[in-house]
Amino acid sequence: MTSTSKRLLVNCRLVNEGEIKEADVLIEGDRIARIGSGLSGSLAGEVVDLEGRHLLPGLIDDQVHFREPGLTHKGSFPTESRAAICGGVTSVLEMPNTSPPTIDRGALLTKWAAAQGRSFANYAFYLGATNDNLEEIKRVALGEACGVKIFMGASTGNMLVDDPKALEGIFAESPLPIATHCEDSPTIWANEAVFRERFGEDVPMEAHPEIRSAEACYKSSSLAVDLAKRFGARLHVLHLSTARELELFEPGPIEEKLITAEACVHHLWFDQLRYADLGSHIKCNPAIKTPADREGLVQGVRDDVIDVIATDHAPHTRRRRHRVTSRRPRGCPLCSIHCRYCWRCTLLGNCLFLRSHARQHTILRCSLGSSAEDSYVRATSLTWSRWI
């Protein structure tokens, strides 16, 4: 659209500010000019009839890996932000386990500069925690990072934080919200040793949720929640994968929570029975687990225990997907189908996903994540392919 063009969207089911209502939306240039019922087509040069489809503010994905710097053979800001837009995601929070990792203020500012003018979506970046960079964390201003990412379990990027004193220091002194990847590494290593002794390098894909087990997740998540309560920290636990972890979190309005939880679309949609046919295409950390875990997570969204639905978008090359099983990469490229997966795996006829989407905009405080009058146009219509 040009800066002066007008477009009227009629017969919408508008999702905004925690409610769904029938409305028409007038767009002037790149801003929403009016929201109301029965707006006249004479107000606009183009009228689009959405025929009762839902119209959402653009989604915020609070966990993506866009692979810059250092891993651009897998993806980049331009390619992955395009994928995000295709999935209705207009704002992303990008992770620090790149090459080199984003673990100091200089690397953070370099990443901001690299994304400028090259990303099709709004963006912000996490600063990565290590066992010895607390002073760097304390140097970062609120506008320079969306949060501090702590890998409390070994994952990709060699950024494991396993020193108890380092963890206590971060939870006690971080000026930023803390986001955690929670898996207990000693538990994982012990499980892995058992399977490697039996199978060598070619451990079957079905063993992935036994190696990165429910016990490993619960042990680490409970530690993170305990630290947050002890020090009064703002904690967001990423990608819950077990039903048991839900007992660590409280239902209720986000505004009243210091500790919140996220689930990813693949944990809500798949269970470990699908390893038999999908194999490493659904290999991720934490692992996709039992049908009961999947059902529990969906119920957690329904009960307002889980506050955010994300993707943990992580592209890989096809060649790496066909390595020996134990060396196949972890992560799924999901941004481009975020909205579709959320709708199909959690809606089930009761507008569950739509309510969760409204909650997510509240927790992340994204100024562009709204369909209010005079806000920028960042909207998605649920036709799977339509971007307005």
pLDDT at 349 over 50: no
Instruction: Choose the weakest-confidence range: 163-172, 240-249, 299-308.
Output: 299-308
Instruction: Kindly state whether residue 177 falls inside one of the protein's structural domains.
Output: yes
Joined together, the tokens standing for residue 225 give: 């929640």
DSSP classification of residue 7: E
**Strands 259-264, 235-237: parallel, antiparallel or unpaired by DSSP?**
parallel
Q: What is the pTM of this model?
A: 0.86
Query: Quick one: pLDDT at residue 4?
Result: 65
- Looking at per-residue pLDDT, the higher value among 289 and 388 belongs to 289
Q: What is the radius of gyration, based on Cα positions, of the chain? A: 21
In a domain, 172, yes or no: yes
Give the separation between CA 257 and CA 307, rounded to whole angstroms: 10
Per-residue confidence (pLDDT) for residue 352, from 0 to 100: 47
Are residue 317 and residue 198 in the same domain, yes or no? yes
Query: Does one domain contain both 83 and 181?
Result: yes
Residue 283 and residue 201 share a domain? yes
**Range scoring the smallest mean pLDDT among 80-94, 104-118, 151-165:** 151-165
Residues in CB range of 327: below 8 A, 6 or more apart: 201
| 182 and 285 inside one domain | yes
Same domain, 20 and 95: no
Residue 28 has pLDDT above 70, yes or no: yes
Q: Residue 18: give its domain's CATH number.
A: 2.30.40.10
Q: Supply the pLDDT for residue 368.
A: 40
CATH of the domain at 76: 3.20.20.140
CA 202 to chain centroid: 31
Residue 1 domain-assigned?
no
Do 31 and 105 lie in a common domain?
Answer: no
What DSSP element (H or E) covers 340? helix 338-342
pLDDT value for 367: 33
Q: What is the domain extent for residue 182?
A: 59-364
The pLDDT of residue 302 is: 85
Q: Are residues 79 and 29 in the same domain?
A: no
Q: Tell me: do 97 and 214 sit in the same domain.
A: yes
In the chain, how many domains are there? 2
DSSP 242: -
For the segment 320-336, what is each residue's pLDDT rounded down to a tens digit?
655 555 566 666 777 66
- Cα distances (angstroms) measured from residue 307 to each of 54, 233, 312, 332: 21, 17, 15, 21
Q: Closest Cα partner for 146 from 166, 175, 120, 169?
A: 175
For residues 44 and 177, membership in a common domain is answered with no
197 with 319, same domain: the answer is: yes
Where in the sequence numbering do the catalytic residues fall?
312
pLDDT of residue 386: 38
pLDDT of residue 194: 96
Most confident of 18-27, 157-166, 184-193: 184-193
Highest mean pLDDT among 83-92, 257-266, 304-313, 369-378: 257-266
Q: Is the pLDDT of residue 284 over 50?
A: yes
Q: Answer whether residue 186 is part of any domain.
A: yes
Q: What is the pLDDT of residue 348?
A: 44
212 and 338 part of one domain:
yes
The answer to whether residue 387 is domain-embedded is no
Of residues 252 and 135, more confidence is placed in 135
Give a yes or no: residue 386 inside a domain.
no
Rounded mean pLDDT, 261-274? 93
With b meaning 16 or more CB within 10 Å and e meaning fewer, what string describes 54-65? Answer: bbbbbbbbbbbb
Confirm whether 257 is domain-assigned.
yes
- Residue 2: pLDDT above 70? no
Buried-exposed string 182-200: b where 16+ CB fall within 10 A, e elsewhere: bbbbebbeebbeebeeeee
Residue 260 lies in a domain: yes
132 in the same domain as 251 = yes
**pLDDT for residue 351:** 43
Contact predicate 178/233, CB 8 Å = yes
For Cα atoms 95, 152, 217, give the angle at the middle one, nearest 5 degrees: 110
